[in-house]
Amino acid sequence: MISIQNKSMDIPIIQGGMGVGVSLSSLAGHVAKCGGMGVISAAHPGYQKEGFRKNPKETNLIALKEHIQKAKEIAKGKGLVGVNIMVAGKGYDDLVNAAIDGGADAIISGAGLPLDLPRLAKNKILMAPIVSSARAIKLILKMWDKKHECTADFVVIEGSEAGGHLGFKVEDLEAKKTQSLEEILDEVKEEVTFYEEKYKRKIPLFVAGGINTGKRLKDMILRGASGAQIATPFIATYECDASDEFKQAVIDCHEEDIELVKSPTGFPGRAIVNSFVEKTRVNGPICMKNCLDCMIPCTPSSTPYCISEALISTAKGQLNQGLLFVGTQASQVKEMMSVEDLINRYLREMEEA
Ligand SMILES: Cc1cc2nc3c(=O)[nH]c(=O)nc-3n(C[C@H](O)[C@H](O)[C@H](O)COP(=O)(O)O)c2cc1C
């Protein structure tokens, strides 16, 4: 049992938020039902809804609240339901307010530093930054303490093996010069100690990126983590909200198919190299029609591709136009299973370790 403030989880697993349309109510609800924290991605949760093209912002806010409610219904009072909100996305404040109004238990926020999250969310919902270095958590916790007189309820520490956007320099990733997840955990642990003492509470740490076995998870817990945030293996589950085509692509991929890719957000990403990725590498900037106006760092006139359209295509199963974000461990995913069986595999391996 892991306590986070006045809430608790039966198992040490957070399912990582995956946009677009990969972790919505079905996946998050079933993870919560098993006693973990299921996380809904706030990246275009309304992509399937009527009205999305006309008014994406409003449609996404309505859809986010609906997915939180549905996930809670599936969970039947068990576990926790969180929302992943990217700092680099536009409309951040509205998404935070929708997550709170919708009744989510937690907001997990990365792809940038969520320095201002407490202004909207303090004492209303659990707040967790995602960081990839001790420097980042130091900055965030200092700001939250000084400006907002609060600290993080928990922290997600994402290492270089994760999927989606990565919080490391592309040169360091390519040269394999990034710190190990273990090293980052040790350093972040040191940084949070001061605030644990000041606010007289534990700040649970969850490691993410390449946590592929219960043994690895147990090792991290023995080293001081409270648990792990796991994403890629959940794609190949029956309950995952992703398209069947994406699930199959994860099952079929090999280690050599997974590479670093450029994203219009400016962050490097990790994905399965398919015909779409190959096209983006040779073609120049595209002419954006129907811009969804979603990412702060994106320049529509010079973007090599639209990240939202590419991820929406994957969510719809149109893989030749889609970006397939995965973590390094995707090549070890070999079969489709239920969320319960996947979680039980981790728990069994933890016991055996
Ligand atoms: C398909 C996919 C989409 C993702 N989308 C997001 C996202 O929208 N926001 C975010 O903070 N992290 C995102 N991530 C990162 C995960 O939440 C998670 O931290 C990471 O992938 C953990 O590593 P693992 O996949 O090896 O378990 C994504 C990962 C994947 C595989």
Residue 145's domain is classified under what CATH number? Answer: 3.20.20.70
Mutation choice for ligand 1 from 13, 14, 15, 18, CB with most ligand atoms inside 8 A: 18
Mutation choice for ligand 1 from 41, 117, 181, CB with most ligand atoms inside 8 A: 41
Give every CB contact of residue 169 below 8 A, 6+ residues apart in sequence.
268
Q: Domain residues for 87?
A: 2-242+333-352
Q: Which of 27-31, 81-85, 239-243, 264-268 has the lowest mean pLDDT?
A: 264-268
- pTM over 0.75? The answer is yes
| Per-residue pLDDT at 289 exceeds 80 | no
Q: Which of 6-15, 22-31, 250-259, 302-311 has the lowest mean pLDDT?
A: 302-311
Same domain, 56 and 194: yes
Return the axis-axis angle of helices 339-352 and 25-33, rounded to nearest 10°. Answer: 40
Same domain, 287 and 149: no
Q: Cβ-count burial of 70 within 10 angstroms (0-12 exposed, 13-18 middle, 19+ buried)?
A: middle
What Rg, from alpha-carbon coordinates, does the chain have? 19
The answer to whether residues 168 and 174 touch, using CB atoms and an 8 Å cutoff, is: no
Total structural domains within the chain: 2
Confidence band, pLDDT 50/70/90 cuts, at residue 285: low
| Per-residue pLDDT at 196 exceeds 80 | yes
Cβ–ligand 1 contact at 17 (below 6 Å): yes
What single letter denotes the amino acid at residue 100? I
Same domain, 224 and 261: no
Same domain, 104 and 191: yes
Among candidate residues 158, 156, 155, the one with its CA nearest the CA of residue 201:
155
Same domain, 150 and 257: no
The answer to whether residues 199 and 193 touch, using CB atoms and an 8 Å cutoff, is: no
Please write the tens of the pLDDT for every residue from 14-53: 999 999 999 999 999 999 999 999 999 999 999 999 999 9
- In angstroms, the first-to-last Cα distance of the chain is 19
Q: How far is the CA of 270 from the centre of ligand 1 (A)?
A: 10
Same domain, 211 and 151: yes
Same domain, 168 and 251: no
Same domain, 203 and 258: no
Please write the tens of the pLDDT for every residue from 90-115: 899 999 999 999 999 999 999 999 99
In which element (H, E) is residue 8 found? strand 7-9
Q: How far is the CA of 200 from the centre of ligand 1 (A)?
A: 31
Average predicted confidence (pLDDT) for the chain: 95
d(CA 129, CA 131): 6
User: Given the structure tokens 């719809």, which residue do they identify?
Assistant: 316
| Beta-ladder partners of 271 | 259, 325
Q: Hey, is 186 helix, strand or coil? A: helix
Q: Do you find a cis peptide bond into 20, omega within 30 degrees of 0?
A: yes
Confidence band, pLDDT 50/70/90 cuts, at residue 13: very high
Same domain, 84 and 6: yes
Same domain, 154 and 295: no
Q: How far is the CA of 235 from the centre of ligand 1 (A)?
A: 10
Same domain, 81 and 230: yes
Q: How far is the CA of 18 from the centre of ligand 1 (A)?
A: 5
Cβ–ligand 1 contact at 82 (below 6 Å): no
Confidence band, pLDDT 50/70/90 cuts, at residue 262: confident
d(CA 53, CA 193): 46
Confidence band, pLDDT 50/70/90 cuts, at residue 189: very high
Same domain, 214 and 256: no
The answer to whether residues 23 and 41 touch, using CB atoms and an 8 Å cutoff, is: yes
Cβ–ligand 1 contact at 229 (below 6 Å): yes
Supply the DSSP string of 213-225, one letter for each residue.
Answer: SHHHHHHHHHTT-
